Each structure stands twice: as C-alpha cells, then as structure tokens.
Structure 1
Amino acid sequence: MNTVGSPRYAPEWLALREDADARARAEELIGPLNAFLADTPASGDRLTVHDLGCGTGSMGRWLSARLGGPQRWFMYDRDPALLENIAARMPREAGDGSPLEVVPQQRDITRLTGDDLAGTSLVTASALLDLLTADEVESLAASCAAAGCAVLLALSVEGRVELEPSDPLDEEFAAAFDAHQRRADAGRRLLGPDAAEAATAAFERNGFSVLTRSSPWQLGPQESGLTAQWLLGWVAAACAQEPSLEAASEDYLRRRLDSCEAGTLRAVVHHRDLLALPGGTAGTATA
C-alpha cells in the first residue's frame, strides 16, 4: 500500500487489518472481471497481474485464489523490507492449483507507463487510490488504457464513518480526518475521500467502462483490536489537521477505547471498490 510520497505502514498494522479487508472487498466485481479475463488472451499463456503498493501481499492472497489459471504477479512497494519476503507471503498456487510466480518490484508506481504495463492482464491495488493525486490517477488510467488491461482498485476511503453508540464529537473528528486525507503532502494534493469518484471519471475519460461497489469495514466486538488501532490513527490524523481538537482528544479517546474494550462499540468505515474494463464491457452501475 506504499507509493513514493506516501507513508510507510508497519507490517503489524497491515496484518491486523487483513481479515477486515478481505471481508469488505466487493466479491460481486470478481464475476465481471473473470468474464473479461476469459475473453482476453493472456500474455505467455498466463495472467500477468501488477499489484501496486502491495504491502505484505494481502490483495494478492485474496485475489489470486479467485482468478483461474497460471499467474505471474509483479508486486510493487517502496519498502524493501516488505518486498524482501513477499514471495514467501504469497501462495504458490492459484485457486485452481495452477502455478503462481511472484516478481518483486521496488519503484515509483506513479511513473508507470503503458510500455511498462505491456502484456498486462490486470492492474490491481488495495487502499491506494486515496493516497494519489488527481494527476497521478489520470496518468494511471492512461497507462492502463494503453496496455488494454483490466483494473481492480479496492478499499478507497469514502469519508463516511458510522460509530455506535454516537458521541457529540464524532462529526468534528470525522471532518478533520477527511480534511487530513485531502491534505497537500510534499507538494501533492491527495484525493482522499474523493478518490473513487475521481478515478471513475479518469478511467471513463480513457475509454473504460467502470463498475463500483461499496466495501465497508464492519467492525464489532470481534474486531476490537483493529478498531482500537484504527481509532488511535483516526484521532491522531484529525488532531494533526485541526490542532484545536487536541484538548478534547484525550477524553474522547478514553470514552471510545473504553467502549471498544467493553465490546459495545461498533464502527462502519465506508470504502468503495472499482472495476474498470476496456471497451465498455463492465457497465456503469454503482451500489
């Protein structure tokens, strides 16, 4: 989930969220994707997949089991420590028992061109779009169009969080967090919660048909560890954006973490998944 210019994520955090990510991803996009891939000749008799900002490989582990036939996965991340063991973290076989090859790639994904993606069957990523700028998403769409490949982008934040029971300060922290997601980072204006909408427009401009589906985290008592860590990061980002919230953050966090520990806090963190297919074969419905 790392790109040049984006924050590095600890493997512990990526491991903690993997199950919630897997449950949230929109399974209903896999059918249209596989239908497209079945009708599109694979380069070298195998699917070639480019996983952008792969982190520990959670998207690859989830998706490779849902794709048929031999597969070659190019795994991109800027963190060499994550890439060092990425092959061992990925399965050796696809879901149907076909061989799966892993090729680590340490490079800036925002500079990928159509030539870099030549022969690619699918470009995929998870929790990446909101870390990109509008220009970077436009460039990615153009590169994928030049390669004629499918694109599956999962878990882009939508800027909506539901916490139950509610707290009077929820909306203030949520608004500050969303502003932080849209911040200028080293001269780059991040898309944050606007990413799915911006990407849909960018891919449509480049000749793709786009299908999107909601993919929310549903966090309850069984996910209390993840919920607690998410809350800490959510509040910290909000305070970084709006320092005036610092004074209230300690009591707010204590209330929220106490509820989390007691198993009474539930959270819905909204995301959206996007499937873009060349040639207008995906439809344009959203849900």
Structure 2
Amino acid sequence: MNTVETEEFAPEWLAAREGVDALARSHGPLPVLAEHHRVVADLGCGTGSLGRWTAARAPGVERWLLFDRDPRLLALAADRVPGRVETRLVELARLRAADLTGVTLVAASALLDLLTAEEVRAVTDAVASTGCPAWFTLSVAGRVALTPEDPLDGAVTAAFNAHQRRAQRLGPDAIDATIDAFARRGYRATTFPSPWRLGPDHPEVTGMWLRGWAGAAAEQAPDLPVADYLRRRLAALEQGRLTAVVHHDDLLLMPPEPGDRP
C-alpha cells in the first residue's frame, strides 16, 4: 500500500473531511430510507461519520452494524456512533448474506470508488440476498472544477482518475458498475449529486485534498510538472482565491417490488 493510499484512511484525514462530507451528502434519499433504517449495516465505516450524520437527520435507527477491515477504525467508530452498535472485522470481497442477517438497510460512505469489480459483486450478492435497500454516498465522479483555471487542471484530473483505477479499483467507474450489478438483481437505481465545495471557507481540508489529489496524480504521471502546479494552487488558496468543486454522487438502490423480475 503506497503513501497516498495509507493517508486515504488516516483518522486525521477522515476527521478533516467530515464537515465537507456532511455538507455534500444529498438529503434526497432520506424520506425513502426512513421506512428501512431500523438496522443499518455501514460498510467500510471508517470512524463512523455516516452514522453520526444519519443520527442527526434520520432518527430511528435501532442498531448499527459497522463493517471495516481496519480494527483501529472500528474501535474509533464503536465509540462515536450514537445508539446500539456492533462491529464486524471483514474484507468486503468476503462479505456474505449471513453477515447481513437482520439488516434492513445497507449503507456506505466514500466507499464504492475504492472497490474492485469482485468486491462490488460480493456486496451486490450479499445485499440482494437480504432484499433490503442500499445507500452509497460520496462516490467520486471523476470531475473536478477549479477556479481560477490552470492549464494543467485537465491533465492532473486525468492522472488522478487513472490512479484511482490502479490495483483493479473501479474509481470513477464505480457508480455505473454498481448500478449494473444491482440491476441484474432487479434493483432500481437513483443517483443524487453530492459535490464537495472547497476553498477559503475550508482551508485545512482544501489543502489536504489538494496535496493528496496532486500527489496521486504525480505517482501516476511522474512526467507531469505537478510540484510546480501544486505550489501555484496552494499559493492561490492561501490568498483566498482558489475554490474547487469535487463532484461526487450518492446512490440509492431499491429492491424489486413483489412480482418484479430481474
């Protein structure tokens, strides 16, 4: 695992991004999910930010099942998610229907773009076997809009997107791949835009995002003059001139109605 990937899951980064995540997530799915969120499985739960966000906006969850492959993050989440909480240490490629017994909603935040096609298939099969809805928030869409523009914006974005697809991860292809996988099981999909809006109002997380985003691009395309690009962008941020819209999508997947066929 390289440095960029390690930092992606660092508690410090997860804590820094929680505020912009909270502002970005769409409220659109909440009325539908209110009928289904009695027992929620949070896949790749991190420090439990989705549980905290949901508790403040959709009360009524009786129990959280928190899944992650990192025992350190599971311990943090168990202490920080309100209500009754259980934890599961699991690799998502090995997720099975039995792991979701009693679950009425499967959820995740900032997860899909990190998965491989094999992991998406495992998640789809497990969820579809339960017949419950799935709600995946904040998946990267592969589009970034920075103001003011820079001639290298497009090349850095392309290099970052290619980096996201390394090690067979789906990256910005994840939403479409997940919709297709669930459609084969008869699920109906609705997407909701959930963009990060970064800039002088969030200087710490904007700077951390810039460094991580540019760092991944530099790993992928070492011939790009990313160091100079990053210096220009950080200088503009310090001067209060830089804003960035980092596009994400939320995805709601509803199971087939009785009588429907996949």
TM (norm. structure 1) is: 0.84
Partner of 1:199: 178
Distance 2:131 2:169 in 1: 26
| TM-aligned CA deviation for residue 208 of structure 1 | 0.9
- Cα RMSD between the aligned structures? 1.6
Superposed CA deviations along residues 125-167 of structure 1, whole A, max 9, x for unmatched, are 1110011112221221121111111110000001000000000
Q: In the alignment, does 2:35 pair up with 1:50?
A: no
Partner of 2:248: 271
| Alpha-carbon spacing, 1:277–1:103, altered in 2? closer, same or farther (3 Å) | same
What amino acid maps onto 2:40 in structure 1?
V
* DSSP-derived class of the 1:123 partner: strand
Distance 2:196 2:43 in 1: 21
What amino acid maps onto 2:75 in structure 1?
E
Distance 1:104 1:203 in 2: 25
Which of 203, 221, 237 matches 1:242?
A: 221
Once the two structures are superposed, the pairs formed by residues 104-119 of structure 1 within 5 Å of their partners are 104-119=87-102
Superposed CA deviations along residues 214-248 of structure 1, whole A, max 9, x for unmatched, are 11001121111111110101111011111111xx2
Distance 1:204 1:70 in 2: 27
Once the two structures are superposed, the pairs formed by residues 103-142 of structure 1 within 5 Å of their partners are 103-142=86-125
Partner of 2:75: 84
| Alpha-carbon spacing, 1:54–1:70, altered in 2? closer, same or farther (3 Å) | closer
Q: In the alignment, does 2:212 pair up with 1:221?
A: no
Question: Is the 8 Å Cα contact of residues 33 and 275 (structure 1) preserved in structure 2?
Answer: no
Partner of 1:254: 231
Distance 2:220 2:210 in 1: 15
Superposed CA deviations along residues 90-113 of structure 1, whole A, max 9, x for unmatched, are 22xxxxxxxx20112211122111
Once the two structures are superposed, the pairs formed by residues 148-163 of structure 1 within 5 Å of their partners are 148-163=131-146
Question: Is the 8 Å Cα contact of residues 45 and 66 (structure 2) preserved in structure 1?
Answer: yes
Distance 2:249 2:81 in 1: 25
| TM-aligned CA deviation for residue 65 of structure 1 | 2.9
Partner of 1:169: 152
TM (norm. structure 2) is: 0.92
Superposed CA deviations along residues 164-203 of structure 1, whole A, max 9, x for unmatched, are 00001111111100011111x2xxx110000011111111
Question: Is the 8 Å Cα contact of residues 123 and 152 (structure 1) preserved in structure 2?
Answer: yes
| TM-aligned CA deviation for residue 253 of structure 1 | 1.0
Distance 2:176 2:112 in 1: 10
Question: Is the 8 Å Cα contact of residues 220 and 266 (structure 1) preserved in structure 2?
Answer: yes
Question: Is the 8 Å Cα contact of residues 209 and 280 (structure 1) preserved in structure 2?
Answer: no
Question: Is the 8 Å Cα contact of residues 137 and 202 (structure 1) preserved in structure 2?
Answer: yes
Distance 2:113 2:100 in 1: 22
Partner of 1:179: 162
Partner of 1:31: 31
| Alpha-carbon spacing, 1:70–1:29, altered in 2? closer, same or farther (3 Å) | closer
What amino acid maps onto 1:249 in structure 2?
V
Distance 1:176 1:201 in 2: 26
> Once the two structures are aligned, what percentage of the paired residues are identical?
51
Distance 1:276 1:132 in 2: 17
Aligned residues: 253
Distance 2:184 2:128 in 1: 10
Q: Which runs of 5+ in 2 are unaligned?
A: none
* DSSP-derived class of the 1:137 partner: helix
Distance 1:20 1:168 in 2: 27
Question: Is the 8 Å Cα contact of residues 209 and 276 (structure 1) preserved in structure 2?
Answer: yes
| TM-aligned CA deviation for residue 207 of structure 1 | 1.4
* DSSP-derived class of the 1:115 partner: helix
Distance 2:90 2:184 in 1: 26
| TM-aligned CA deviation for residue 280 of structure 1 | 4.7
